[in-house]
Amino acid sequence: MRIGFYGFGSIARLAARIALKRGYEIVGAVDIDPNLVGRDIGEVLGLGERLGVEVSRDPVEALGDADVVIHATGSFLDRVFPQIATVLDMGIDVVSTCETLAYPYYRYPVLARKLDEKARSRNVAVIGTGVNPGFILDTLPIILSTSVPTVKRIRAIRVLDAAKRRESFRKKVGIGGDPREVEEKLRRGELTGHVGYAESALLIADAAGIPVSKVVEEQHVVVAEHDVESHGIKIEKGRVLGVEGWAKLYSGDEEVVTVVLRAVVGEEDRDEIEIEGEEFSVKWRSSGTHGDYATASIVLSIAEVITSCRPGLLTMVDIIPFKPFFSRTLPEAR
């Protein structure tokens, strides 16, 4: 498989290293960082050898020989739409880490329709995925719910020690900042925190065919009640430890899907999923998932299959062969 990268930041470079281990060929990379442009990809990746492919500013020049392009430049579809559209116009499938592309019908229904039309017209596919949205808080709950005959509600929680994450992640959740300033920056969009609570919840609802009456999405800072230190990061009492947010989906007056993410310095890494069923319930817990490695692995795994998928705009629901059956979606509940 020949892979191109649109955006060659930390996640894309990690995916590139894994791609080479898997035996894929990297045919091009695009970025605007002057520290990267013109450098050989092998040098950028620290491989100790040149690959004969340089990072370029021009996607048409750099990505034309790719079978699939891994797109990793931003979280919001309205800002990255032209980049994705350019690759689709070249007749190349796209797997993007753009969080709001994971379920774009919620925030960007018009852009979603345009992407679908463009991809269909070029006979290629485009999908947004990653560890979250894309896996832990949506795909995995969908898969786990398959063993429950009749589901009543799903709750998924992801907790991670933000001190272990890369610097860019720590910055976007406001670690060490003044709580009021960070809250205001989150409100204005100067800091993103986590993006994709609603997208994850809506992916579950879409898989289940749940009629959604209301979506509630919130995100707030978590303030240190005492001095905290983890993995070399020290946070004083009263400063920001990270963020906690959630999305809740209602069908009628009933809360049917809840997803929560808590990225806080000093927390115990863990992922938890609860499937409450009529016949029995399932509770699953892990010791945590490494977000960067997981994202890189997931986008590459989807890149392996996207060329055989139907053309158009896809979500993970179109990829996986499972779906929950909620009591309110069964014939007797209607």
pLDDT at 329: 63
| CATH number, domain 2-130+295-319, options 1.10.287.610, 3.40.50.720, 3.50.50.60, 3.40.50.1000 | 3.40.50.720
Q: How far from 225 is each of 145, 155, 237, 238, CA to CA, in Å?
A: 37, 27, 5, 6
**What average pLDDT score do residues 133-150 get?**
97
pLDDT at 224: 96
Domain ranges of the chain: 2-130+295-319, 139-288+322-333
pLDDT at 331: 54
pLDDT at 330: 55
| Residue 333 pLDDT > 60 | no
Band (pLDDT 50/70/90 cuts) for residue 303 is very high
- Mean pLDDT (the chain) is 95
Number of H-type helices and E-type strands within the chain:
11, 15
DSSP states along 280-302 = --EEEEES---HHHHHHHHHHHH
**What average pLDDT score do residues 105-117 get?**
98
**What average pLDDT score do residues 90-97 get?**
98
| Residue 328 pLDDT > 70 | no
At 211, which amino acid appears? P
In the chain, the percentage of residues whose pLDDT exceeds 90 is 96
CB distance 278 to 149 below 8 Å: yes
Q: Give the rounded distance of the alpha carbon of 202 from its chain centre.
A: 13
Within 10 Å of residue 97's Cβ, how many Cβ atoms? 28
What are the pLDDT digits (tens) for 48-75? 999 999 999 999 999 999 999 999 999 9
Record the pTM.
0.94
How far is the C-alpha of 134 from the C-alpha of 139, rounded, in Å? Answer: 6
CATH hierarchy code of domain 139-288+322-333 = 3.30.360
**What average pLDDT score do residues 225-240 get?**
96
